[in-house]
Amino acid sequence: MSELALTKTIKFFRSYGLKCEKKLVEEWLNATSSTKDSSHQVGEDDLYEFNDWCRMKGTAYEEGIDDQTKIARLLEEVNGLKSEIAVLKKEKEQLEDRLGVTPF
């Protein structure tokens, strides 16, 4: 992708209030350049595509990652969820104690 296309894309995304870093937009453009020709005008669909791409980046659902990376990321997510469950259970118990509610 050319520097001009990168600059136009960043300006377009920012015109919609999206805070985006140059490096991230450049990476997205390079990742999607095979689906866009050089005369492609950035539009609202690209805004949604970029947002989805950013949301999936670094997760097990990121496109183009190998199975080992996917499994490692899923295990990390599972461990994070287990920790969150433990915190929520403790908070629930504290709330029940304060309210005088006995668990069923």
**DSSP characters over 3-35:** HHHHHHHHHHHHHTT----HHHHHHHHHHHGGG
- Could you tell me what percent of the chain has a pLDDT over 90? 60
Query: What is the predicted pLDDT for the residue at 104?
Result: 66
Mean pLDDT per segment of 10 residues, for the chain of length 104 residues? 83 89 91 72 89 92 93 97 98 93 74
| Structure token digits, residue 103 | 């668990």
Cα separation, 22 vs 5, whole angstroms: 12
Torsion angle, CA of 93/79/48/66, rounded to 10 degrees? Answer: -170
pLDDT in tens, 53-82: 999 999 999 988 999 999 999 999 999 999
Query: What is the predicted pLDDT for the residue at 102?
Result: 78
Cα separation, 84 vs 67, whole angstroms: 25
Between the two ends of the chain, the Cα-to-Cα distance in Å is 61
pTM confidence score: 0.64
